[in-house]
Amino acid sequence: MVTSPRRAGGFPATRVRHAHVHWPAVSAPPVITDVDPAALRRAQENALVELLDIPAVADELGERFRAAGHELYLVGGSVRDALLRRGQSDLDFTTDARPEAVLEIVAGWADATWDTGIEFGTVGVRRGDETLEITTFRADAYDRRSRNPVVRFGDTLEADLVRRDFTVNAMAVEVHAPRGDRRFVDPYGGLAALHAGVLDTPAAPEESFADDPLRMLRAARFVSQLGFTPADRVVEAMQAMAGELTRITRERVQAEFSKLLLGAHPRRGIELLVDTGPAEYVVPEVPAMRLAIDEHMQHKDVYTHSLVVMEQAIEQEESPDLVLRLAALLHDVGKPATRRKEPDGRVSFHHHEVVGAKMVRKRLRELRYPKAVIDDVAQLVYLHLRFHGYGKGEWTDSAVRRYVTDAGPLLERLHKLVRSDCTTRNRRRAAALQRSYDSLENRIAELRKQEELDSIRPDLDGNAIMEILGIPPGPQVGKAYKHLLALRMEQGPLTRDQAEEALRSWAAENLR
């Protein structure tokens, strides 16, 4: 039975109403006093099947399995998303047929098959533009030391469904039967949980999470993606078993965490991880921010401030942006390590952007993020305070050039991050900060018309430097190049004669 949501472990008990969930209307049967309620519920569920948008490829596949004397069910996230009217990608099926029989059934029908997961009972199939996975009923056992099961094939659909992660993923639709005769199979209350927006497990959550601790991260991911509220017993099990995540590879942890961040409600998913403990084994720097009081004295803590910044950054996105969301969440992770109490009683975090960028690199490497993602997120964290270093908007041309050059291709993301970092409740101060940043963006636009800001180079290249100074390739050329680049930043474009004169003046002082 699905428990009613309440506050547990500090995680908010409120539920998001799902405006995108459109439940098909099922005509009410005549009122008959002796109807079995369970039979009536099954009849309504089965009527629901006829209103679902089952892809034609599932019909074709179902016919082939029926002809071969086997069962086939559309299952898991495919059914959940069909009920939620969400877009589908891959289709997942389960069957009583063993993998070798599955390969025989799809032979001549599938455009391609692959058997990389066949030891786990899964056969991959491509038919036209559709990608399908067909898995034999499973009744696995786990060693509880890793997340790898000892694969054992099962004989019933119900036994297969009980080993799945959540009840909303433990529903199935019979597709081997002709349309009109298909059953909706929901032995663990997934439909009711979906309608209530509650995330629960088919078996006891302690058993489910012990089998596969990654399911705790999947719980937070579904909270983020679907806006669901975890059942009380799920929250309690996560609090008790968070340490089991150490059994999971960093690559799998990163994949789930990234999906969480890219969901519609990432703040809720992160709050669940922090309040129940798994965040300590994924991004411990995030819960650590609860110890640092923000210097503006307007926020509960830096942790809360960072969540607000992430939400405000999301509001500026054209589409979900993992780099921007990571940078917004982690931009202040350096504050706990740099926290100092000043003589006047205020709290400071000097150079927290420098410390934070180093911490971000270390954490994202540990989570096996791609180098490009690590570099971009760390650079945004490093630059997020640069704007505040220029007072109240006294931006010189050289300062604008350096800002644009240091940001490089990250400039638009930096704009969004800096604007999002304003969470003060003082409306006048917030308006002043926004006007100041508007002024900076206008200055950037003006200079872009005059100069090639996005590709600033010295007015003389390496070959010209060697020719003018009569020196061979080597470190001195690099030093001269850096001097000319700094001069370009300060003064803007120079004529050829001005650049040569500046180079010779530098050489007279430095190449003796």
pLDDT value at 133 more than 80 = yes
Number of domains the chain is built from: 3
- The answer on 474 and 409 residing in a single domain is no
Mean residue pLDDT of the chain comes to: 84
pLDDT at 30: 46
Angle made by CA atoms 310, 250, 380, in degrees to the nearest 5: 35
Output the pLDDT for position 229.
Answer: 96
Same structural domain for residues 287 and 370? yes
Read off the CATH number of the domain in which 432 is found: 1.10.3210
143 and 126 Cβ atoms separated by less than 8 Å: no
Range of the domain at 497: 458-510
Q: State whether 324 and 429 are in the same domain.
A: yes
- For residue 501, pLDDT over 60 is answered with yes
Say if residues 260 and 269 touch (Cβ distance below 8 Å).
Answer: yes
In the listed set 138, 173, 196, which residue is the last one of a domain according to the structure? 196
Ramachandran sector of residue 351 (left: φ over 0; alpha: ψ -120 to 50; beta: rest):
left
Same domain, 162 and 306: no
User: Which one is predicted more confidently, 443 or 189?
Assistant: 189
Q: What pLDDT, in 10s, does the model give residues 42-67? A: 666 666 776 677 888 999 999 999 99
For residue 366, what are the contacts with CB-CB under 8 A and spacing of at least 6? 250
With both helix axes pointing from N to C terminus, report the angle between 322-330 and 250-261 in degrees, rounded to the nearest 10: 90
Mark whether 432 and 505 lie in a shared domain: no
DSSP annotation of 3 reads P
Question: Coil, helix or strand for 55?
Answer: coil
pLDDT the model gives residue 24: 42
- Worst-scoring range by mean pLDDT, 145-149, 240-244, 245-249? 145-149
Instruction: Let me know if 140 is exposed, middle or buried by CB neighbors in 10 A (0-12, 13-18, 19+).
Output: middle
Claim to verify: residue 296 and residue 413 sit in the same structural domain: yes
Same domain, 54 and 168: yes
Which of 196, 226, 254 is the last residue before a domain boundary?
196
Same domain, 383 and 473: no
Q: Quickly state the pLDDT bin for 28 (edges 50, 70, 90).
A: very low
343 within some domain: yes
pLDDT in tens, 471-499: 888 888 888 877 787 777 677 777 888 88
Q: How confident is the model at residue 126 (pLDDT cuts 50, 70, 90)?
A: very high
Residue 331 lies in a domain: yes
What pLDDT is recorded for position 295?
A: 53
Residue 429, amino acid: R
Half-sphere CA count of 234, side-chain side, radius 13 A: 31
- Among 196, 218, 248, identify where a domain stops: 196
Do 174 and 83 have their domain in common? Answer: yes
**Within a domain: residue 320?**
yes
Closest-CA residue to 325 (of 266, 237, 246): 266
Q: 25 in a domain, yes or no?
A: no
**Which tens digits make up the pLDDT trace of 319-339?**
999 999 999 999 999 999 888
Q: Do 148 and 180 have their domain in common? A: yes
Report the Cα–Cα distance between both ends of the chain, in Å, rounded: 85
State pLDDT tens for residues 192-219. Answer: 999 999 999 999 999 999 989 999 999 9
Q: Are residues 481 and 448 in the same domain?
A: no
184 and 293 together in one domain = no
Select the more confidently predicted residue: 409 or 481. Answer: 409
Please report which confidence band the pLDDT of residue 1 belongs to, taking 50, 70 and 90 as the band edges. very low
What is the pLDDT, as a whole number, of residue 84? 87
Residue 101: pLDDT band (50, 70, 90) is very high
Residue 166: φ, ψ to 5°: -135, 155
